[in-house]
Structure 1
Amino acid sequence: MADLKYYDIILKPLVTEKSMMAMEEKKYTFSVHPDATKSQVKEAVEKLFEGTKVAKVNTMNLDGKTRRRGRTAGKTAKTKKAIVQLTEDSKEIEIFEGL
């Protein structure tokens, strides 16, 4: 397992229709490092975004898709996605405001 710092864990926010609907319930979706654990994701969100308190974290591993280039077949990289539920008294995450 890699030695991950909190700023290496969250790669980018995922903005889809489904994730935008979940934001009303204070659920935020992020693409995270494939080796990150739930406790590491919780720590990273609380350190990166001031005033946030994480209630729970759901993670899912996504396999790479098969892609073809002519006769050669390959796979894209595996990814990991995390859905972070904030507590009721927690602040909103700033990067999602105004979307």
Structure 2
Amino acid sequence: MEVDGLVTALERIEHATRDFVRPGHTAESPAALLGVLAECGRALGHPYAIDPGLDDARNEASRHCAVVQENLSAVMEEVRRLNVTVSGLLPSLVRIADRE
């Protein structure tokens, strides 16, 4: 992969992470970030031999990308499970509340 591809991948990751951490981010931000990390994170894993310092920073960014991707996937799964549980509880609780 050429350096231009790496620059593009880093720009996309920067934009997605900024959108994710911005207060009031949209509900789509976690999924969008996960998609960008899955797609662009691979670009960080290729050796470029540009400069030892840059390669070290790229390797660190690649590790962070993988950790965020793994953890965000786990959080999104837990949120889905929470939604299923709450959705199952609500009808019964609404019926009980309506009787009172």
Question: By the TM > 0.5 criterion, same fold?
Answer: no
TM-score band w.r.t. shorter chain = under 0.3
| More helix by percentage | 2
Larger radius of gyration between Structure 1 and Structure 2: 2
The TM-score with structure 2 as length reference comes to 0.23
Structure with the bigger RCO (C-alpha within 8 Å, sep 6+) is 1
The TM-score with structure 1 as length reference comes to 0.23
